[in-house]
Structure 1
Amino acid sequence: MARERQLSRQPSSRLTRRSLLGGAAVTGAATLVGAGAGTAAAATRDVDVAVVGGGLAGLTAARDLVAAGKSVVVLEARDRVGGRVVNLKLTNGGFTEGGGEFIGPTQDRIKALADSLGVATFTTYNTGKNLLYKDGKKTAYATDGLLGSVPPIDIAGLANAAVVQAELDDMAAQVPVDAPWTAAKADEWDKQTFESWLNANAVIPSAKFLFDVACTSVFSAQPRELSLLYVLFYIAAAGNESNAGTLERLTETANGAQESRFVGGSQQVPIKLAAALGSRVVLSAPVRSITLSGSKYLVTADGLMVTARRVVVALPPPLAARIAYDPLLPADRDQLSQRLPMGSIGKAIAVYDTPFWRADGLNGQVVSDTGIVRSTFDNSPPDASYGALMGFIEADEMRAFDASTVDEVKAAVLKDYATYFGDKAKSPTSFVLQRWDNEGFSRGGPVAYAPPGVLTEYGPALRRPSGGIHWAGTETSTYWNGYMDGAVRSGERVAKEVLAVL
């Protein structure tokens, strides 16, 4: 499992919803065309719009374009839909989410999409105490007290952290979500890393620890890698048109971005969305080139060529840059793509007969200053028919294990789980690992982030169409950038953009 788990292919060119979900049965049937082995070489289609990428952004754009009467084909490189949203099959017949899974307040567009498809949500397990593991000491703490879910650090650290958080929220309020590079202090903020700003402001070590953990948990990147302006934009984007973004909404479970999960797993949403599009979605069709030929674009994928009046590329910028374009993309767009790296992230899920930590009064959530896994969640199903501990492996910790075997990662993860939850955690009934860094059509996650100097110099190229090529994906969203909600918002936005010129 050093790479993303590949979902089994059917012998014919049609894949059922069962195979797309990785073995978990889903009511109803759908057929999505596979363009790889088993189909005629170099088949051709002529459509109004070719959509590159079968994640939430591309599928949402296709849905809206089809609803407006346009002909569309969606080209997806993987043998499944969902992009960075995937359900992983467990040996007990269940499944767990290997990618994006949580939604919360103000994430209106993903919620509306899920509701329209009949995918319900349930509350993330949050009953009982959190655990802080710091300086070799384990401390359980309540999440419903005066300080909410803030770990119980020293009073000086708490006071410093409160000031820093308020300052970040105040600065974020000055950042326009649709054009952060136009903020009055954009140049000043984009010249420095988040790390340098924290060093000057989070002056109590325990406070700095809290923001370091928050940073890696949100971005899967270290503070030294991120532009301060980008972090402020990300905070501002953690809201909607009626509610300003806050750092608290990014990091919290109750009333925050981790508040809820999807019944049946998050991949249910793109699976059902793709099912409604039917044969317009083509799997196992990585796009190699996009060429302007006369008034149309020729989109060449493995086993399929598509001619289209417009093209929507719904991929992370560094992945979109790997397509060959003729004519070349504008220099600023290409330079932008070169400067937006993916975060480094993995998810490790250990499965047990029961969620045994609940009996100990714990909710399964940990904040730690050591180990390969420094934040965890209870990923058990809503009926608690088995227990599942999910740990994030992020930034430096993920990079340190990118070349390790699955067994080596598993041993390190279970060591941490035992430290946090006791000896019972050493013996799961099964273990699954999703390493996005090693997944060929993502190469990291959850988002492509901006180091210093990128937004102010190249930001305007992020959403600006390149001729008849339009850009979507969560990285282009003005709200909930990096999240499933941002992906849906970007699909809706780009569909309107295309329809305005067709």
Structure 2
Amino acid sequence: MARGRQLSRRSLIGGGTAALAGAATLTSAGAAQAAPAATRDVDVAVVGAGLAGLTAARDLVAGGRTVAVLEARDRVGGRVVNLALGGGEVTEGGGEFIGPTQDRIRALADSLGVATFATYNTGKNLLHKDGRRTPYATDGLLGSVPPIDPAGLANAAVVQALLNDMARQVPVDAPWTAAKAAEWDRQTFETWLRANAVVPSAKFLLDVACTSIFSAEPRELSLLFVLFYIAAAGDASHPGTLERLTETADGAQQLRFVGGSQLVPIRLAATLGDRVVLGAPVRAITRTGTGTGGSGSGGADARYTVTADGVTVTARRVVVALPPPLAARIAYDPLLPAARDQLTQRLPMASVGKAIAVYDTPFWRADGLNGQVVSDTGVISSTFDNSPPDGSYGALMGFIEADQARALDAASEAEVRTAVLKDLVTYFGAKAAVPTSFVLQRWNNEAHTRGGPVSIAGPGVLTQYGPALRRPVGGIHWAGTETSTYWMGFMDGAVRSGERVAREVLAAL
């Protein structure tokens, strides 16, 4: 982006419809485009070139195996994408932040030479509630707690502590085995909150936390799923906490990547060269040969034919690194076991979009604000400062989530832009009305994602179908952030799942 000059308006609404910074880099590094009647024979076929699939492919190649990665889009990264702003500048349209205990994505980025910088967090947050705009400090004794009434703060603190305590009782590798799993899985998070967040202002804070974390309403989520998600926000040495999910400093929003988060999968894919095939949506996975199929362990002589647009791959093993609802759209022969298929029917994607307004300067900083908002109204109820490390221009990012995202699914880009800028003016003043550029990513309308940031589980899903989440089906193995025991729903979880599935496949071959 040329500093201080007017920029053309760009958008990214559907898959493959906008310029993606770095896509040409990947192509020039050797990624192949599917060609008519192309065929490949490899040890392992990987479906999906997001962080999970690419990490699995990297480790499989390091283990001496031949690999082909088939990606439906014309880019790599999956739910991680850079949006072009012009002049070589980008902003993040999907997965963006990393924080403490997210060691696997950090290690991957370090190995690829992708640096991090701190999310802008200097100055005051804003609470917009009941029509009032209240700045508040983020470094007090209570951290970044919005200034609600004392009774609400006390109730919210009790509820937060209770959630953390309950989450410590949930095994991250098998939440359905928790002692109270049946009790917690038969109720929604909404039902539990109504019984425990009894002060309206406390309920407001927990509702905002829920939509910010899951891009889903409390009524859509099983309490057990929420507790597992909290438990997963850590590692073996650091139990997960709700605070780690919601905070910027010392939390999951602490750092961003220089060059945008998609630079990580772009560079990772470049190390794989033409093993990565773009524009090749997989339509069918068929077991061939005489090995055990179906729900069996897979025989040594079993093989699989993976049929994609423009390319067919035969392999001894298959890694499907897609969100469960998208994995379910592939035709499997033999049919998947009922438990696996029923699971994927019950893990819908949440609903999310990101809107970024770009300005000549980050003008809110001069007003002592850090760009972060918590609001009880508007189409964007939480925002972040998405400016570059040097602050050479300003960028305000707003999440469009849950009910608000669904309400705007059929709206035009112009209508969404108008609604978003109205909210930004409410929060930051008249200067927010005239951005130099505006970009929009609506994951609900993305052909090869259809929502985000993660699949969610309602009541009864984990206890009835959870064991099928990672269990291989013959020679078909499952990856993706939804299968991770730590940091499910995050980039770190995707990397962890790729590493886990590669170990699984290498042990089986």
Any residues of structure 2 matched to 1:44-83 within 5 Å, and which? 44-83=39-78
Hey, what does 1:170 align to over in structure 2?
165
Any residues of structure 2 matched to 1:77-476 within 5 Å, and which? 77-294=72-289, 295-476=302-483
Deviations 1:143-200 (A, max 9, x none): 0011110100000000000000000000000000000000000000000000000000
Q: Does the 8 Å contact 2:12/2:18 carry over to 1?
A: no
- Distance (Å, rounded) in 2 between the aligned partners of 1:155 and 1:231: 26
- Distance (Å, rounded) in 2 between the aligned partners of 1:8 and 1:380: 21
Deviations 1:447-471 (A, max 9, x none): 0010000000000000000110000
Deviations 1:246-300 (A, max 9, x none): 0000000000000000001000100000000000000000000000011210000
Q: Does the 8 Å contact 1:51/1:62 carry over to 2?
A: yes
Q: Does the 8 Å contact 2:356/2:439 carry over to 1?
A: yes
Q: Does the 8 Å contact 1:5/1:88 carry over to 2?
A: no
Can you give the 5+ residue segments of structure 1 that lack an aligned partner in the other structure?
A: 10-18
- Distance (Å, rounded) in 2 between the aligned partners of 1:20 and 1:415: 28
Q: Does the 8 Å contact 2:189/2:219 carry over to 1?
A: yes
* Percent identity of equivalent pairs: 78
- Distance (Å, rounded) in 1 between the aligned partners of 2:14 and 2:398: 16
Query: What TM-score, normalized to structure 2?
Result: 0.94
- Between the two proteins, the alignment pairs up a number of residues equal to 487
Deviations 1:335-388 (A, max 9, x none): 000000101000000000000000000000000000000000000000111100
- Distance (Å, rounded) in 2 between the aligned partners of 1:2 and 1:496: 36
* Deviation, structure 1 residue 4: 3.2
The answer on 1:3 being equivalent to 2:13 is yes
Q: CA RMSD in A?
A: 1.3
- Distance (Å, rounded) in 1 between the aligned partners of 2:217 and 2:47: 30
Q: Does the 8 Å contact 1:91/1:430 carry over to 2?
A: no
The answer on 1:21 being equivalent to 2:16 is no
Q: Does the 8 Å contact 1:42/1:302 carry over to 2?
A: no
* Deviation, structure 1 residue 22: 5.1
Q: Does the 8 Å contact 1:366/1:374 carry over to 2?
A: yes
Closer, same or farther in 2 for the Cα pair 1:455/1:69, shift >3 Å? same
* Deviation, structure 1 residue 241: 1.1
Hey, what does 1:14 align to over in structure 2?
none
Deviations 1:5-50 (A, max 9, x none): 62679xxxxxxxxx66257x79x95110011xxx3x1210000000
- Distance (Å, rounded) in 2 between the aligned partners of 1:367 and 1:230: 24
Hey, what does 1:30 align to over in structure 2?
29
Matched to 2:109, the amino acid is A
Deviations 1:220-246 (A, max 9, x none): 000000000000000000001110000
* Deviation, structure 1 residue 91: 3.1
Q: Does the 8 Å contact 1:2/1:438 carry over to 2?
A: no
* Deviation, structure 1 residue 219: 0.2
* Deviation, structure 1 residue 94: 1.2
Query: What TM-score, normalized to structure 1?
Result: 0.95
Can you give the 5+ residue segments of structure 2 that lack an aligned partner in the other structure?
A: 1-10, 290-301
Q: Does the 8 Å contact 1:348/1:390 carry over to 2?
A: yes
Matched to 1:453, the amino acid is G
Q: Does the 8 Å contact 1:238/1:244 carry over to 2?
A: yes
- Distance (Å, rounded) in 2 between the aligned partners of 1:96 and 1:230: 31
- Distance (Å, rounded) in 2 between the aligned partners of 1:112 and 1:465: 27
* Deviation, structure 1 residue 3: 2.5
Q: Does the 8 Å contact 1:252/1:258 carry over to 2?
A: yes
* Deviation, structure 1 residue 93: 3.6
